[in-house]
Chain A
């Protein structure tokens, strides 16, 4: 019974760590994609007295000139008395930024651009951008804190497990050592437990992952965010497989090394 309990502790710890790593990775990727989505749909409008090259805007992003011919045509029709050929019109650009800036960064970018003598006006969608940015940051902080907490909890469970393992296996390992057993022989039983527990945790975590990611609400959130996000199960399984085995084997090695 106590042996079963000790298996359960490690399996629970591993599941919580593996699942938190998966959630952490998934949330980070979703947030990254969502940020990219915002960046793709977000741009600063610059009005300049000369034609701009990326160097003129400190390579902050991609510059695209706005074609104003249509607007000019409309103006000409609207104001037939004005001779537009005598008016020197400025150049209009869309600056698509490389990264999503914070409201403060956006303000700095705006000021820097306005400091250039040839730039007359900079238009940002500051208020909408600020809200989205703040919301994203809040979401990121909450999810990361949550994942860290789960990770720490899992780590504490593993520490507890190490103590239990020491009590359970110390005597056997000591006797084996008295008969000259090498390190791998003394730890064989623990390594076996670590392997089995890792495998069980991995399977349970993966069932959990498949269940969660196939929940209608999860799919709906992804769709509502308007991002194209596909979970690479094979890659994630590989990553969790490696992490799970590293954690359990390091734990078992620590017990064998720390034997009193």
Chain B
């Protein structure tokens, strides 16, 4: 497996305070990675830096051919087209129905509307939401919204899915459905990086755990 993400001496700051200090880590293609740590440890900061929302303060951070330290806007757009992002607050477009929300990455990629619609329906059925395709986000429960967000994050076959606390606040059933979707995506070869304060019990596949403590990142066995 090739190295997909390489961080060398990476320092990330949040509001001028160093959150991650001179840390090194790598993520290989196809890895299933849990990024763990206590609240405020810097999990979200790392996820944000991986999708280019936060520029590294110093050091080196690469995703494939993209150097996130000095990435241009157009290259960042290209990179993001190859990523799937899942947020704790779902970030579904409120004025769009679920079907259109799921279609978003395909529409951005220039896939024609009919084909995008067809594929979105297929992905909605995978996340067991095809019956809610025409509903708006506000009409869905948290768990349903997160499943829709995962369908949106996977529909364009991204190389990597970045998920920030995707199961926090969900009930046990919804959380297990959501984790199952990540596992299925990973089985298709998609690299998964999940920021979570804990790892779900009875987790059935091999995974790596990168733990953040006092600004440093450690790999736990």
Partner-B contacts on A (CB < 8 A) = 171-172, 175-182, 185
Contacts and interface: CB of A to CB of B under 8 A. Distances in A.
B108 A176 contact: yes
B130 to A, nearest CB: 22
B91 interface: yes
Nearest to B85: A178
Contact of B94 (A171, A178, A185): A171
B32 to A, nearest CB: 22
B152 to A, nearest CB: 8
B93 interface: yes
Contacts, number: 43
Contacts of A182: 77, 108
Interface string B81-103: 11101000001111110000000
B81 A180 contact: yes
What are the 10 A-B residue pairs with the smallest beta carbon separation, nearest first? A180-B80, A180-B81, A180-B77, A181-B108, A172-B93, A175-B91, A179-B105, A175-B93, A179-B108, A179-B104
Contact of B77 (A171, A172, A175, A181): A181
A71 B146 CA distance: 103
Interface in B197-219: none
A178 B93 contact: no
A27 B92 CA distance: 52
Given A178-B91, A179-B81, 6 more contacts: A171-B93, A172-B95, A175-B91, A179-B108, A180-B76, A180-B78
Given A171-B93, A172-B95, A179 B85 contact: yes
User: Do most interface residues of chain A lie in helix, strand or loop, or is the interface mixed?
Assistant: helix
B166 to A, nearest CB: 15
A206 B82 CA distance: 48
A178 B48 CA distance: 10
A182 B95 CA distance: 20
A179 B80 contact: yes
Nearest to B79: A180
Nearest to A189: B95
A171 B137 CA distance: 14
Contacts of A176: 93, 104, 108
6 contacts: A172-B96, A175-B92, A178-B53, A179-B80, A179-B105, A179-B108
Nearest to B74: A182
Contact of B108 (A171, A172, A180): A180
